[in-house]
Structure 1
Amino acid sequence: MSFFDDLAARIEATDSVVSVGLDPDPSRLPDFLDSELPRWAFNRRVIDATHEHAACYKPNAAFYEDADGWRALQETVAYAHGKGVPVLLDAKRGDIGNTARQYARLLDDDGLGVDAITVNPFMGRDTLEPYLSREEKGVVVLCRTSNSGGADFQNLEVGNGKRLYEYVAQRCEEWNEHGNVGLVVGATTPDELEAVRDLVDLPFLVPGVGAQGGDAEAAVEYGLADRDGTDVGLVNSSRGIIFAGEGADTESAYFGAVGQSAKRLKQRLNQYR
């Protein structure tokens, strides 16, 4: 069973393609968290509030790269798994040789034990091989990102009428020998999201629908790929969900708003499924 097989089962069980980004920015954490690991305490409450609506959790490694943060991330991954929810680590790794092999250990049980990871293809196929070879793990490759500067390089023409992001998509489909490859394609550029879907049948992780204001309908129409009769893909929201309770007077009100935000996004996306 690959990550995307497990994800298909999770999508069916929850009737949801929502990925909840667990990005606990310390400057935005509520004051009522009383814990030596406030990021973990925050994530646990977010998971409790959203797991019924989450197909996946996507922590971004940038918010955990210190000693306490790493402990918080380990606890978060274990707790999400305890709720039956897969975890995709947004790490955007991409390096050569022994360095790549060490990064890929994040997928192993003696590393973090996450189910999938985002990677950067800029340095070529050999840098992704340590991830691709783990057949049961998901490898989600940056293709057309949701940030405005993504066009600086990703939209460059590379020949045969193709832009770089289109070429990346086609190469990734060639690399999908084990059925464990997906693509990051943002909802902030719906025409390009459609262009990538016209080229490949890989599952997409579609960021940008929440705080970045991306196109939810396009995210569903072009972001999901058929996998044995189930539409598989993820539409991510991070800040739009986890900080939905800002301004609330109580802890219950705060995380009640978080849960409602995840539910609303699920319902909004399901209108188009």
Structure 2
Amino acid sequence: MTPQELEQQIRSKKSFLCIGLDTDLDKIPAFLREQPDPLFAFNKAIIDATHQLCVAYKPNTAFYEAYGSEGWRSLEKTIAYLNEKYPQIFTIADAKRGDIGNTSTRYAKAFFETMDFDALTVAPYMGRDSVEPFLEFEGKYTILLGLTSNPGAFDFQTREDAGVRLFEQVLKTASNYRHSERLMYVVGATKAEYLRDIRKIIPEAFLLIPGVGAQGGSLEEVCRYGLNEGVGLLINSSRGIIYASAEQDFAEKAAQKARALQTQMAKILEKG
């Protein structure tokens, strides 16, 4: 998928919503736990109910790794289902990988080739040789952690050196990596006031924005400072959508929550 194709999907659906599949056995409806694969059964129902309202899904791999090989099989079934049934959907493996070059290459092969995700989140702390191996895969995207939504982000990411904050240095440096056109960036919705400065550094890149909904981020603020001519935003909501109900109507309630966000996004796009 190209950024242009992603933008076309956004404008067609009037949505730049990404739904996080952070699927926890302790939180899904109890009746699903009787299924042979409750994680996949939950994901499938959520996907079928919401796919017309979003342009991306983002499974967080920790929620599957926690259950060992069975959980990993659920993740494999989820991405296979998405690729077969809804191939136009942009898929993100939220795995936050990043290691020395040969290890990064293997991580990239696992998610880009074996599982066929469109994108993967990557931590930049180890620098160029830990990121560029991911960027070698044509048609795939590396979503670099830029400025995250958690409170601990202030421990390091906003620290200044000679007037430049660390997250700004990350963005400036990464934008010069080989195949940097295949980079997207994570910017937390709870840090919306920084988006104006971020857009000065990476004006054209897509930003994955977590933190709208359960973490308290404002969609309007994010869009005010983050939208560009190609839209350039993927707004992620996980818990606020997928756990809207723990009853038989869980998928229907998830769709209602997704539609509420999509409706807001449609209005924002119309204003242009």
Q: Give the equivalent residue in structure 2 for 1:162.
A: 164
Residue 8 to residue 176, structure 1, CA distance change in 2 (3 Å): farther
Q: Give the equivalent residue in structure 1 for 2:208.
A: 205
Q: Secondary structure, in 3 states, of the residue corresponding to 2:235?
A: strand
Letter in 1 for 2:256: Q
Q: Give the equivalent residue in structure 1 for 2:122.
A: 119
Do the aligned residues in 1 keep the contact of 2:57 with 2:89 (CA within 8 Å)?
yes
Residue 153 to residue 121, structure 1, CA distance change in 2 (3 Å): same
Determine which of 95, 101, 104 is the counterpart of 2:99.
95
Whole-Å separation in 2 of the counterparts to 1:218 and 1:180: 26
Matched, 1:195 2:194: no
Q: Give the equivalent residue in structure 2 for 1:42.
A: 42
Q: Secondary structure, in 3 states, of the residue corresponding to 1:182?
A: strand
Q: Give the equivalent residue in structure 2 for 1:29.
A: 28
Letter in 2 for 1:39: L
Whole-Å separation in 2 of the counterparts to 1:108 and 1:93: 13
Whole-Å separation in 1 of the counterparts to 2:217 and 2:22: 19
Residue 225 to residue 134, structure 1, CA distance change in 2 (3 Å): farther
Q: Secondary structure, in 3 states, of the residue corresponding to 1:210?
A: coil
Residue 74 of structure 1 deviates from its aligned partner by 1.0
Report 1:9-158 matches (<5 A): 9-33=8-32, 34-65=34-65, 66-81=68-83, 82-83=85-86, 84-109=88-113, 111-158=114-161
Question: Pairwise CA RMSD of aligned residues?
Answer: 1.5
Q: Give the equivalent residue in structure 1 for 2:4.
A: 5
Letter in 2 for 1:95: D
Q: Give the equivalent residue in structure 1 for 2:257.
A: 261
Determine which of 217, 220, 226 is the counterpart of 2:220.
217
Do the aligned residues in 1 keep the contact of 2:136 with 2:179 (CA within 8 Å)?
no
Do the aligned residues in 2 keep the contact of 1:58 with 1:88 (CA within 8 Å)?
yes
- Offset from partner CA, 1:212-260 (integer Å, 9 cap, x none): 010111222333333xxx31320000000000123x4xx2x22111001
Moved more, 22-31 or 6-15: 6-15
Q: Secondary structure, in 3 states, of the residue corresponding to 1:231?
A: coil
Q: How high is the sequence identity, in percent, across the aligned residues? A: 41
Residue 258 to residue 69, structure 1, CA distance change in 2 (3 Å): same
Whole-Å separation in 2 of the counterparts to 1:5 and 1:78: 24
Do the aligned residues in 2 keep the contact of 1:64 with 1:70 (CA within 8 Å)?
yes
Whole-Å separation in 2 of the counterparts to 1:29 and 1:95: 33
Residue 178 of structure 1 deviates from its aligned partner by 5.3
Residue 70 to residue 150, structure 1, CA distance change in 2 (3 Å): same
Residue 8 of structure 1 deviates from its aligned partner by 1.7
Q: Give the equivalent residue in structure 1 for 2:267.
A: 271
Letter in 1 for 2:14: D
Residue 190 of structure 1 deviates from its aligned partner by 1.5
State the aligned residue count: 263
Moved more, 145-154 or 190-199: 190-199
Q: Secondary structure, in 3 states, of the residue corresponding to 1:89?
A: strand
Letter in 1 for 2:131: L
Residue 106 of structure 1 deviates from its aligned partner by 2.5
**Any gaps of 5 or more consecutive residues in structure 1?**
none
Determine which of 182, 205, 223 is the counterpart of 2:184.
182
Letter in 1 for 2:167: Y
Whole-Å separation in 1 of the counterparts to 2:102 and 2:169: 27
Whole-Å separation in 2 of the counterparts to 1:9 and 1:174: 27
Whole-Å separation in 2 of the counterparts to 1:223 and 1:61: 27
**Any gaps of 5 or more consecutive residues in structure 2?**
none
Whole-Å separation in 2 of the counterparts to 1:220 and 1:176: 29
